[in-house]
Amino acid sequence: MTIEEACKKWVARDFSSIPTQLIIKAYKDNPEELECLNSEDYFDDRPLYHWPATWGWLFHPDDSTDERWISENIQEVEECGFLIYESDECGILLGIDGMGFDFYEAFWIPLYKARGLQWHSED
C-alpha cells in the first residue's frame, strides 16, 4: 500500500467530516466557545477571513489517540498547515484553509508522517 493509500484509509476511518456552516451556526452566538489553538505566528502571512476554515469542512478525529496526539502536538499539526480548534462540545476540529490543490499531499500526508504512522510499504 502506498503512503497516499494508507493516509486516505486513515482519514476515512478515523475522521468525521463536519460542514463548516454547521459549526458556524452552532457557535455564531458564542464564537469564543470555539477556541483556535494555532499560534499567532500562524496568522502572520494569512488574512483573518477564515473562520473556521474556507474549504467548507472541518474534521474531527474519532479515535481518542489521534485527538490526544493532536492536542499534545499543536505546533506539529500547525506546521502541516491545519487550523486547529477546540470546544467542550466537539473536542478537536481541524480545518483546511485553502482550495484548488491536493489536500492529501499538502495536509494529510504530512500529518500522517508527523503522527508517526507506518501503514504503508516503503517501496
Query: Considering only 25-29, 48-52, 57-61, 96-100, which range has the smallest mean pLDDT?
Result: 48-52
Q: Give the pLDDT score at 48.
A: 47
pLDDT class for 49, splitting at 50, 70, 90?
very low
Residue 30, in any domain of the structure:
yes
Residue 119 placed within a domain: no
40, 73, 84, 114 from 18: Cα distances, Å:
25, 22, 14, 23
Show the CA angle centred on residue 61, arms to residues 33 and 19, nearest 5°. Answer: 65
- Structural domains of the chain, count: 1
Mean pLDDT (the chain, rounded): 86
Structural domain harbouring 15:
3-43+50-114
Secondary structure class of 70 (helix, strand, coil): helix
For residue 89, being part of any structural domain is answered with yes
120: in domain: no
Q: Indicate whether this model's pTM tops 0.95.
A: no
Does residue 123 lie within any of the structural domains? no
Which segment, 12-16, 24-28, 42-46, 100-104, is predicted with the most confidence on average?
12-16
Q: Indicate whether 66 belongs to any domain.
A: yes
